[in-house]
Structure 1
Amino acid sequence: MRSVRRAAEILQADVAAGVGAADSTVAGWELGSSVPDQEKLPALARVLGQRLDDLFPRSGPPDLTDLRCDAGLYRKDTPPIIGTKSDGPVAGAESGVRPLKDKYVPALAHAYGVTADELKRAQERSIAKARGEEVSAEGTDATTEKPPRTLAEKVTLLLERSYPTGDAPGDAKIAAAVNRYAGSRVTTAEGIEALRTGADEAPAPIVLEGLGEFFGVARLYFEPDEEVARQVYEGLRLMSASKSGKIGRVRARGLGAAGLPADVLSILNDLADEVEKVAPDTNE
């Protein structure tokens, strides 16, 4: 923090004013004698002119507490959001004691700046942690993670797995790429957002073709065919592991007889070996 602040020529007092803390408190953070509340980190990043993930990187996807803190909200701020008298529902979900009622999900997702699906996946991570279950790098229990089913889940998975270290393209960039592929204006940033959030489950075929071209997957991936989704899912999981420097042997966990074919699995594992040979100690 101190190095970033000095490099930006920002006064310690200005940081304190920007996050609503005393000068001495900020001094303590910089000295390491105390640490800021996690809820303060977004404000600190803004004052210092940095991206939150760059200044305070996190290992692995967020759980429910992380999402709330990333929005700069304390638990006491959540009752008005979900229309309750206490923060009990949020506290229970964050501690993994009981999941949120469905009626609370849309409002919380909006307040946290994420989709309902993203919030539900974060909740699954909170519950898994509370149970002491192993959570994979992708953020869910490695033994129960399943391929996506809805169109919104499929688009979200592509974004998460294709860009595991961040810097995922925005809706406007994706829309522009789809329009270039189509040769005309067939969608907008709002249209892509509707696909991500589940508001639109039936886009024009040309939009799906453009999405496939942009992400490098077959259009069949977006169709309601679970076996195709499983195969693309396994390929994405491999790519995510490669890009995040955690590549290893791939196996079709829990897919059963209808899961990933042996020849496809063999190709993926051969690719994993080749990536290890080319760049064993890097993320490239």
Structure 2
Amino acid sequence: MRAVRRVAEISQSDVASALGVADSTVAGWELGTSVPDQEKLPALAGVLKKPLDELFPRDGLPDLTDLRCDAGLYRYEMAAVIGTKSDGPVAGAENGIRRLKDRYLPGLAEAYRVTVDEVKRAQERSLAKARGEEVEGEAAAVAAAQKPPRTIAEKITFLLERSYPKGTAPGDAEIAKAVNAYAGSEVTTADKVEALRMGTGEAGAPTPVILEGLAHFLGVSRLYFEPDDAVARQVYEGLRLLSAAKQGKVGRVRARGLGAEGLPADVLALLNDLATEFEKKAAPDTNE
């Protein structure tokens, strides 16, 4: 926290003033002798000009308390939100004692800036936590979310989910149109893109031009869609040939096929350019 504040050139006094606390309180947070209320973390992240999840990353998915605190709300404020005399219903649900009544959910969702379904899922996590259990399937879901994509289907889905705001990702027809435009002919269809994205048997093995078109449209390197071991082989081959060129053992890098085991044309061109530079540096200066 101190490092982030200093990089942003914000004083402890400015942080304290923005959050309505004493300067000594902020100093204690930075020294680790005390911690801020969880409800203050969103405001603190805002003052320090950092995303909340980046400055204070959470281990796992949020429960009801997390949702409330992420919205910067204290529990005593919940009575007004759900229209009751006390915050008892929210306190009971957060502590895993009893479920919220359905009529409370829309108001909480609006206050927390999430959907009703997200409130319901957070409630299940609070209840499970109180029982000392995990929500069914959640550990696997978290692990899956943290696992890097490996198949082509997983990689396409990863890009669509992470590169576009929710609800704005291109559809299969738009992707197919872009790939065909890149190829200069109709090499795929919306149905084939859907099968490729879903990883179904109907997709078949995509041709290199389809993968190149996908990479171009989604803004990634063609190597992104190669299996990890194939990428490693290509990198190794490139380094091996560069080493040989530097030692004067080859004058030019020659292609030995551009199949799955070969180097892409742009990589070969780069290696040839580097080999030429090595030759120039190794050649005697004729002006002397």
State how far apart, in whole Å, the 2-side matches of 1:183 and 1:141 are. Answer: 30
* 8 Å CA contact 2:124, 2:135 repeated in 1: no
Tell me, yes or no, if structure 1 residue 11 matches structure 2 residue 22.
no
Deviation at 1:37, TM superposition (A): 0.3
State how far apart, in whole Å, the 2-side matches of 1:128 and 1:10 are. Answer: 41
Tell me, yes or no, if structure 1 residue 177 matches structure 2 residue 189.
no
In the other structure, the counterpart of 2:44 is 44
State how far apart, in whole Å, the 2-side matches of 1:57 and 1:101 are. Answer: 30
Give, as a single letter, the amino acid of the residue that structure 2 aligns with 1:105.
L
State how far apart, in whole Å, the 2-side matches of 1:23 and 1:136 are. Answer: 44
State how far apart, in whole Å, the 2-side matches of 1:76 and 1:69 are. Answer: 12
* 8 Å CA contact 1:62, 1:139 repeated in 2: no
* 8 Å CA contact 1:4, 1:48 repeated in 2: yes
* 8 Å CA contact 2:105, 2:116 repeated in 1: yes
* 8 Å CA contact 2:125, 2:134 repeated in 1: no
Whichever of the two has the greater Rg, that structure is 2
Give, as a single letter, the amino acid of the residue that structure 1 aligns with 2:197.
G
Greater relative contact order (Cα < 8 A, sep 6+) = 1
* 8 Å CA contact 1:65, 1:94 repeated in 2: yes
User: By percentage of residues, which structure has more helix?
Assistant: 2
Deviation at 1:105, TM superposition (A): 0.3
Q: TM-score, normalised by structure 1?
A: 0.54
State how far apart, in whole Å, the 2-side matches of 1:77 and 1:111 are. Answer: 10
Deviation at 1:170, TM superposition (A): 2.0
Tell me, yes or no, if structure 1 residue 69 matches structure 2 residue 48.
no
Give, as a single letter, the amino acid of the residue that structure 2 aligns with 1:38.
Q
2:40 aligned counterpart, secondary structure: helix
In the other structure, the counterpart of 1:217 is 198
In the other structure, the counterpart of 2:220 is none
Deviation at 1:183, TM superposition (A): 9.9
- The CA RMSD measured in Å over matched residues stands at 3.6
* 8 Å CA contact 1:105, 1:119 repeated in 2: yes
Give, as a single letter, the amino acid of the residue that structure 2 aligns with 1:127.
L
Deviation at 1:169, TM superposition (A): 3.8
Q: Deviations over 1:70-100 (max 9, x none)?
A: 0000000111110001000000000000000
Q: Deviations over 1:6-61 (max 9, x none)?
A: 01111111111111111110010001110000000000000000000000001100
2:65 aligned counterpart, secondary structure: helix
State how far apart, in whole Å, the 2-side matches of 1:137 and 1:2 are. Answer: 38
> What is the aligned-residue identity percentage?
61
State how far apart, in whole Å, the 2-side matches of 1:167 and 1:11 are. Answer: 34
**1:73-152 pair list within 5 angstroms:** 73-135=73-135, 138=138
* 8 Å CA contact 2:71, 2:111 repeated in 1: yes
**1:28-39 pair list within 5 angstroms:** 28-39=28-39
- Relative distance call for 1:127 and 1:51 in structure 2 (3 A) is same
Q: TM-score, normalised by structure 2?
A: 0.53
Deviation at 1:133, TM superposition (A): 1.2
State how far apart, in whole Å, the 1-side matches of 2:164 and 2:10 are. Answer: 30
In structure 2, stretches of 5+ residues that fail to align are 143-156, 178-189, 201-226, 233-288
